[in-house]
Amino acid sequence: MIPMTLQDIADVTAGTLVLRGGATAETVVEGLVDTDSRKIGPGDVFVAKPGEETDGHLFAPKAVEAGAALVIDERELDLDVPQIVVANAVEALGALGTEVVRRVRSLGRLREIAVTGSNGKTTTKNLLQAIFSRRGETVAPIASFNNEVGAPITFCRLTASTRYLIAEMGASAPGEITRLTRMAKPDVGIVLTVGLAHAGEFGGIEVTLRSKTEMVQALDEGDVAVLNADDARVRTMAEKTAARVVWFGRGDDADVRASDVTTSLDGTRFTLHVPGEEPVDVHFAVIGEHHVTNALAAAAAAHVEGVSAADVRDALQEVTRAERWRMEVVHRGPVTVINDAYNASPDSMSAALRTLAQIAPPDARTIAVLGEMSELGPYAIEEHDRIGLLAVRLNIDQLVVVGRGARALHLGAIAQGSWSGESRFVEDADEAYTLLEAELRPGDIVLVKSSNSAGLRFLGDRLADLAEGRDA
């Protein structure tokens, strides 16, 4: 964080400053800011946020033991460290993040590139970080820090020398993206897709569309909206923004586009076309044609900021995986495991299954271990059934469906009479592991895919370890 006095922080957060430990109102703090006491080190700021399952105030002593220079809390605690007592810790964190961005902005060098969409935000964020970190100090979210807590934690990491802020902006309800853009208004706003992810929480696809549109509505005339030309719903956003629009996509009408796309177990290859430059060939280690969309979005934002196509190519080719547990390919022994179980929606589940079918050599057996796609609300049964049908149409050799929430997927698959494959239903990840432990054989390609709440990402790790011990 940029240096701020305790009084500055108290004023920004509308809190009451409690001086302890020999501090004064002019004592300067410039450490990291976090709500997780395990991440606090000497000089950092701990925000004691009450939660649904526990209360951050209970962990404040551990944060102080770790060296916290300041605790922001909702009630004064018996700790020998300065405290700022606020009415709402989350709102105070947001106010602090907003002020840090404002102060760094005032120095005149900071550019913010923000990304939203139903799928691909974290992957695109990582690609943007890979590109822009080659040009200057770049701050980007850790993991999926994209909500009212994670975003300001990221914003507070800015320093006076930060040149680029990469912001991932997620939402589970209308108005959340607007709040995030008010904390840190983007210069370049990227919208990837509008799909059924979180549709149950939003209340329908049209509400999702309106919520994602909040990104481009926050942009000013001098800003740029980077929009997916291949998504019909995203295309409608061009009419709702004052910003200049730059299109990315697979079609010839896109400003930044890809051609000659192929995918295999060693990654994805495509030719990148950028206005005013010669096409460049890219070998992208992340597998799956759907990740080309994310790469194009990052390339388009980079183009807006004056990064050459060749530099984009070089950065993309250094990325070895989208993110932990996102289309993460693990070659161990004679079995290949694709662990994509950090998140799942109907669109990303479909894309992962298509990738599995595309990359498998003729003599390989394809196995899809699939869990629940959460937060679909009234769409859940229909969408799980549709994924089961897709697996059959793609001729996936074996399905292992895990958990009651995904049972409709299993039923959808076994209802098809023309399939040479097989689907089996198990209650939990342990049962799935036991089943596969007995059946995995050399040459198998195993996809593990589910929403985070299903917990299959750890099953994917266990299967990779199991595969390592198999004889070829």
Whether 343 has a binding-site annotation, put simply, is no
CA 84/CA 71 separation, integer angstroms: 6
Q: Is 125 annotated as a binding residue?
A: no
161 annotated binding-site participant = no
Instruction: Say whether 122 counts as a known binding-site residue.
Output: yes
| Residue 120 marked ligand-binding | yes
CB 441 within 8 A of CB 471: no
Written as one letter, the residue type at 341 is A
449 is in an annotated binding site: no
Amino acid occupying residue 363: D
DSSP string covering 350-405, please? HHHHHHHHHH--TTPPEEEEE----S-GGGHHHHHHHHHHHHHHTT-SEEEEESGG
Q: How far apart are CA 331 and CA 463, in angstroms?
A: 11
- What backbone phi and psi angles, to 5 degrees, belong to 321? -155, 155
Handedness of CA 90, 91, 92, 98 (dihedral sign): positive
Under 8 Å between Cβ of 402 and 450: yes
Parallel, antiparallel, or unpaired for β 422-426 and 111-116?
unpaired
Q: Is the separation of the CB atoms in 376 and 200 below 8 Å? A: yes
117 known member of a binding site: yes
Nearest alpha-carbon partner for 116 in 162, 181, 164: 181
Which of 348, 351, 329, 323 shows the shortest CA–CA distance to 265? 329
* DSSP letter assigned to residue 245: E
**Nearest-10 Cα torsion for 240, 241, 245, 248:** -60
Give the list of residues 6+ apart from residue 438 with CB closer than 8 angstroms, or none: none
The rounded distance, in Å, linking the Cα atoms of 452 and 119 is 14
Residue type, 359: I
- Which residues fall in the annotated binding site for ATP? 117-123
- Which residues fall in the annotated binding site? 117-123
